[in-house]
């Protein structure tokens, strides 16, 4: 339950972003580092996979248009597809570092010296079966030489990042382009597009502190000193959980906390002195206003305990105030 003035929408997009990568839908697969995702070439195991990809593209585009950040990190090659730019073999490094090293070895050494005999084909292993895929007509019978190995590397990377997932990419881009005019984002690089969609990767507590307003408290109050001591001691995941708790999103705007958005446009984080309630009550948040209601606690240890409980148990869901 909730009245949406911005915070509810932020949480709505956060939930959708999490569900995009739910393995039960078989839409995306994680890369070797487990931090970024690309379309699953075997997504057809889900009979509605292309409809889902189109829907995901629409959601990502809608979030960008409405100014909401998503906890969704795709591979660099997918961002390039969104920009209409052809990926290169260097983009393989983030997807499969070991495979990329092998490709680099092919490019940097004579094939005879490293004992490799390659053809213009690749092997696909899925659902317990293997099949040979030609990268060029009759590729399985065409030998790769030192003169043609650059083309081989380009083709095998194109297969991994484009051809093998072409239907999924096409469906995703159909949804994306319904929401976002390609001409408007053509000025961005792949890295800049990632920041536009997902925000800054790190949470700078110094920046948050410098862009905080106080109501009922003063910056010199001991309770405020305790609060910032606790914030600086949090782990990265805990900082993200706190940001989710007070703003409805775990992501930081591109321009930092000075551009934090609320129901009135730019609305900085504020700490309000809780006017009433029993001693030792839990702190509460108003995500539409980026506000934290901070009760008076007896000690820094008690405040830390209540903050940890709030961000771990109160990071999702809404109630009427």
**C-alpha to C-alpha distances, 249 to 70, 223, 246, nearest whole angstrom:** 8, 25, 8
- Give CA–CA dist 208/49, Å, rounded: 40
Of the residues 190, 288, 292, 303, only one is catalytic, namely: 288
Whether the CB-CB separation of 117 and 143 falls below 8 Å is answered with: yes
Pairing assessment for the beta strands 212-215 and 269-273 based on DSSP bridges: parallel
Distance from chain centroid for Cα 277: 38
Give me 208's structure tokens.
């948050």
**C-alpha to C-alpha distances, 13 to 56, 230, 263, 314, nearest whole angstrom:** 11, 28, 16, 17
**Is 35 annotated as catalytic?**
no
Whether the CB-CB separation of 147 and 132 falls below 8 Å is answered with: no
The catalytic residue positions are 288
């Amino acid at each position: 339950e909730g009245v949406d003035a911005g915070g509810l929408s932020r949480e709505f997009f956060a939930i959708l972003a999490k569900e995009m990568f739910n393995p039960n839908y078989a839409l995306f697969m994680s890369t070797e580092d487990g931090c970024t995702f690309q379309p699953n070439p075997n997504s057809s195991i889900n009979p509605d996979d292309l409809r889902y990809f189109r829907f995901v593209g629409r959601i990502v585009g809608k979030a960008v248009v409405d100014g909401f950040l998503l906890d969704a990190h795709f591979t660099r090659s997918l961002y390039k597809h969104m920009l209409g730019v052809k990926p290169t073999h260097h983009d393989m490094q983030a997807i499969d570092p070991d495979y990329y090293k092998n490709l680099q070895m092919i490019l940097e050494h004579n094939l005879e010296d490293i004992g490799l005999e390659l053809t213009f084909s690749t092997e696909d292993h899925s659902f317990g079966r293997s099949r040979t895929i030609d990268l060029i007509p009759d590729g399985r019978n065409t030998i790769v030489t030192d003169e043609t190995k650059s083309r081989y590397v380009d083709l095998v990377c194109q297969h991994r990042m484009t051809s093998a997932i072409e239907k999924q990419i096409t469906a995703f881009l159909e949804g994306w382009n319904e929401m976002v005019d390609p001409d408007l984002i053509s000025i961005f690089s792949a890295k800049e597009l990632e920041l536009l969609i997902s925000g800054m990767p790190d949470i700078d507590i110094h920046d948050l502190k410098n862009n905080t307003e106080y109501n009922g408290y003063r910056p010199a109050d001991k309770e405020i000193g305790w609060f910032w001591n606790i914030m600086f001691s949090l782990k990265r995941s805990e900082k993200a959980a706190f940001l989710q708790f007070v703003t409805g999103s775990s992501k930081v705007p591109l321009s930092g906390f000075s551009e934090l958005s609320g129901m009135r446009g730019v609305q900085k984080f504020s700490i309000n002195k809780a006017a009433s309630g029993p001693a030792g009550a839990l702190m509460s948040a108003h995500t539409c206003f980026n506000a934290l209601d901070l009760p008076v606690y007896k000690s820094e240890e008690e405040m830390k305990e209540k903050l940890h409980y709030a961000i771990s148990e109160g990071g999702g869901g809404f109630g009427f105030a």
